[in-house]
Amino acid sequence: MASRQQIKRRIGSVRNTRQITKAMQLVAASKLRHAQEAVVRPRAYAELAREILTRLRQIAADDSEYRLFTARPVKRRLLIIITSDLGLAGAYDANVIRAMIAQAQADRDKNIKTSVITIGRKAAQAASHINGIEVEAVYNKMPDKPSADDLRPILTSVVGLFADGAIDQVDIIYTKFISSISQQVQVQRLLPAGFDEVELDDELAHADVEPDAASLIKAATLRLLESQIYQGFLEAIASEQSMRMLAMKNATDNASDIIDDLTLEYNNARQAAITQELAEITGGAEALK
């Protein structure tokens, strides 16, 4: 059995850890509130953007600018992986990395080469240790609320590779925020544009295009694709903060349970020491008689 001094030191250490996890829980809760507001506002726009891209694909010609709507046999696929930089968010990063590995394995079975663009240090670390995956670019320390200038280099790289024929398909892997206790890993098609099929209502399915299809495709396609990356990043940030808050709450609760167990052990050891001292005093008194 550990001595009372050792138990006391362990209690102090666990209390310090609990203070840290509690502080991290509160910080994550505050960030989650802002991230949740940020992800909900543009979600309707992002969904409409997917519908518009589907409609544009239906009317786009194969010779449209950059050929972004042209499907071709897939020999090389690019995955955009969104994870965190810091960790300590439960299974958040592990779920995304597991999906990345599954997609790479599926490509390998089809003799398709897999490349990745990683957003977040955790994805970059994982991709560098997986055979058969080529890392095209790494983006770390992205702001929680990225601007168009932060995300445009990613889109420019992706569009350039697709237009040049270096890659034949682009997908985004991120964690969709459903609620504070529910998040789901998503694999969403980015290029060729409009192939992430969504159901169109009659108004959009038969909408007239003005001034003409070519002008609309030229003006709107890149902005609509940018909105898909932007929304995926916002969903990932909200999911990360939600899972970090829950992970830190669980850590805080576990620390409290450990403190209770150690306190009971300390009291038992203290009581045993007192009983031992009383027995020695009583024995000494009897010996004096």
CATH at residue 224: 3.40.1380.10
CA atoms of 222 and 123, how far apart (whole Å): 25
Same-domain pairing of 144 and 86 = yes
- The structure tokens listed for 149 are 């200038």
**156 and 17 share one domain:** no
| Same domain, residue pair 108 and 127 | yes
CA pair distance 194, 53, nearest whole angstrom? 4
pLDDT at 205 (0 to 100): 57
CB atoms within 10 A of CB 55: 20
The gap from C-alpha 22 to its chain's centroid, in whole angstroms, comes to: 22
> Is 68 contained in some domain?
yes
Same domain assignment for residues 156 and 166: yes
Cβ within 8 Å of residue 66, ≥6 positions away:
159, 162, 163, 221
Whether 287 maps to a domain, the answer reads no
Kindly report whether the global pTM for this prediction surpasses the value 0.85: no
From first to last of its 289 residues, the chain has per-residue pLDDT tens of 567 788 888 888 999 999 999 999 999 999 888 888 888 888 887 777 777 777 777 666 544 555 777 778 889 999 999 998 887 888 888 999 999 999 999 988 899 899 999 998 998 888 888 888 888 888 988 887 888 788 888 888 888 888 888 888 999 999 999 888 888 999 988 888 766 656 656 655 556 666 656 666 766 777 888 888 888 899 999 999 999 999 999 999 999 999 998 888 888 888 877 787 777 777 776 776 6
Return d(Cα 225, Cα 149) in angstroms, integer.
14
Do 34 and 46 fall within a single domain? Answer: yes
**Two tokens at 246?**
């829950």
Domain count, the chain: 2
Helices (H), the chain: 4-40, 43-59, 92-109, 121-127, 148-163, 202-205, 213-288
Q: DSSP character for 206?
A: T
Is 164 inside any structural domain? yes
* Per-residue pLDDT, 215: 64
Q: How confident is the model at residue 166, as a pLDDT? A: 87
* Residues 260 and 225 occupy one common structural domain: no
Two structure tokens written together for 280:
């020695």
Query: Could you list the residue range(s) of the whole structural domain that residue 42 is in?
Result: 24-246
For residue 72, the model assigns a pLDDT of: 84
Which residue is it, tokens 């576990």?
254
User: Has residue 48 been placed in a domain?
Assistant: yes
| Residue 233 token pair | 């990043």
Type of residue numbered 15? R
Asked if 243 and 90 touch (Cβ cutoff 8 Å), the reply is yes
From residue 78, give the alpha-carbon distance in Å to each of 3, 81, 136, 165, 270. 58, 10, 9, 12, 63
Do 264 and 223 sit in the same domain of this protein?
A: no
Copy the structure tokens of residue 285.
């008194």
